[in-house]
């Protein structure tokens, strides 16, 4: 078991609307990522996965507010730190964050190398321009980006190239955790593949020590991350290895999600897609019992009223690895029910 890079304990955050109503977007999330591992977060839009990414940085600004919980990065608890301290001490070196529209964040009047100088100077003001250039050149070469990019302006680059450049800039300080929120969703498939390859390279070459990858595209997660975590209505409903999650899901919601995967491969045309009726609950007033109960065809009256604990079961594939799920049915019961369909 590797060193724990990021540990989150019972994190709760909320949005406050203009009408002073609270929306509990992340409601009691706990997770752990070991060194060299990557974790994928999947879920429908509005399930809180992007909010989770923002909350994990410890950098809160209105309307997002911190309620409770701990975020421990490599042994340091960063929850409750002042935003200024977070910006100076955590972002960049401990945690790097890449949003979906990251490529639009580049100021068009500056050369790429200036951004790298800026990032490095926040943490090491003494480093000379020459050293920074050499470091950037080396890093770009390893990641397969041409050196000329450093001397170019953002407008001269294509969308995919911009996104890869931003990722390279954000990880120049070799952060311990990289949080990528849909980094490739706005790109065409070819650029998406390049971005994915680059993120794999970053992990393999040790430039980042762990990664959280957030997307709604399950085939992508399956190919990028070691583990997958499924979020529903602000909570984690299931977590396991990528393979288990896709081919042997336990929670009925995960099952539905995985049943909606469409890939251009032989035999897919004959698959019957699983549709889940209904809509996710309103996070202003989350239901008391299982949050998925009113859409679940296996739900019992107990599901509606009883809060469902997170259960751990040993993984079939990996020894010593536990997968988690949040359902009142036992694993045996679940398998039985799915078998009979």
Where do contacts with other proteins occur on this chain (CB under 8 A)?
Answer: 18-19, 44-45, 62, 188-190, 192-194, 196-197, 200, 216-220, 222-223, 246, 256-257, 259-269, 273-277, 279
Q: Per residue, what are the HEC states of the chain?
A: CCCEEEEEEEEEEEEECCCCCEEEEEEEEEEEEECCCEEEEECCCCCCHHHHHHHHCCCCCCCEEEEEEEEEECCEECCCCCHHHHHHHHECCCEEEECCCHHHHCCCCCEHHHHHHHHHHHHCCCCCHHHHHHHHHHHHHHCCCCHHHHHCEHHHCCHHHHHHHHHHHHCCCCCCEEEEECCCCCCCHHHHHHHHHHHHHHHHCCCCCCEEEECCCHHHHHHHCCEEEEEECCEEEEEEEHHHHHHCCCCHHHHHHHCCCCCCCCCHHHCCCCCCCCCCCCCCCCCCCCCCHHHCCCCCHHHHHCCCCCEEEECCCCCCCEEEECCCCCHHHHHHHHHCC
Which one, 111 or 193, has the nearer CB to other proteins? 193
237, burial (CB in 10 Å: exposed 0-12, middle 13-18, buried 19+): buried
- Nearest approach, Cβ of residue 256 and other proteins (Å): 6
Which one, 28 or 281, has the nearer CB to other proteins? 281
- Nearest approach, Cβ of residue 215 and other proteins (Å): 10
- Nearest approach, Cβ of residue 192 and other proteins (Å): 7
Which one, 259 or 286, has the nearer CB to other proteins? 259
- Nearest approach, Cβ of residue 107 and other proteins (Å): 18
- Nearest approach, Cβ of residue 262 and other proteins (Å): 4
- Nearest approach, Cβ of residue 280 and other proteins (Å): 8
- Nearest approach, Cβ of residue 228 and other proteins (Å): 12
Which one, 86 or 220, has the nearer CB to other proteins? 220
The whole-angstrom separation of Cα 150 and Cα 152 is 6
- Nearest approach, Cβ of residue 190 and other proteins (Å): 5
Which one, 13 or 79, has the nearer CB to other proteins? 13
Which one, 77 or 279, has the nearer CB to other proteins? 279
Which one, 169 or 258, has the nearer CB to other proteins? 258
Which one, 11 or 178, has the nearer CB to other proteins? 178
């Amino acid at each position: 078991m590797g060193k724990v890079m990021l540990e989150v304990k019972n994190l709760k955050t909320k949005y406050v609307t203009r009408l002073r109503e609270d929306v509990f977007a992340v409601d009691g999330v706990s997770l752990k990522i070991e060194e060299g591992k990557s974790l994928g977060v999947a879920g429908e839009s509005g399930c809180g996965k992007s909010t989770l990414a923002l909350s994990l940085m410890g950098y809160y600004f209105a309307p997002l507010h911190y309620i409770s919980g701990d975020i421990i990065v490599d042994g340091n608890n960063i929850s409750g730190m002042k935003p200024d301290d977070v910006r100076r001490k955590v972002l960049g070196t401990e945690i790097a964050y890449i949003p979906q529209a990251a490529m639009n964040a580049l100021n068009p009047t500056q050369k790429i190398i200036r951004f790298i100088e800026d990032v490095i100077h926040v943490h090491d003001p003494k480093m000379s321009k020459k050293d920074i250039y050499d470091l950037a050149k080396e890093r770009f070469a390893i990641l397969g980006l041409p050196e000329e990019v450093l001397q170019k302006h953002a407008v001269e680059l294509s969308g995919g190239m911009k996104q890869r450049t931003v990722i390279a800039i954000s990880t120049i300080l070799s952060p311990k955790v990289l949080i990528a929120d849909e980094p490739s969703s706005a790109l065409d498939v070819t650029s998406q593949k390049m971005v994915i390859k680059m993120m794999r390279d970053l992990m393999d070459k040790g430039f980042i020590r762990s990664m959280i990858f957030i997307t709604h595209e399950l085939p992508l997660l399956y190919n990028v991350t070691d583990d997958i975590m499924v979020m529903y209505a602000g909570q984690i409903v299931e977590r396991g290895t990528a393979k288990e999650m896709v081919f042997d899901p336990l929670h009925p919601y995960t099952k539905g999600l995985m049943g909606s995967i469409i890939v251009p491969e032989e035999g897919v045309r004959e698959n019957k897609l699983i549709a889940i009726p209904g809509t996710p609950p309103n996070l202003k007033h989350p239901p008391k019992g299982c949050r998925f109960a009113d859409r679940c065809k296996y739900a019992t009256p107990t599901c509606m009223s009883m809060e469902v604990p997170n259960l751990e079961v040993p993984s079939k594939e990996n020894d010593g690895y536990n997968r988690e799920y949040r359902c009142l049915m036992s694993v045996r019961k679940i398998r039985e029910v799915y078998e009979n369909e």
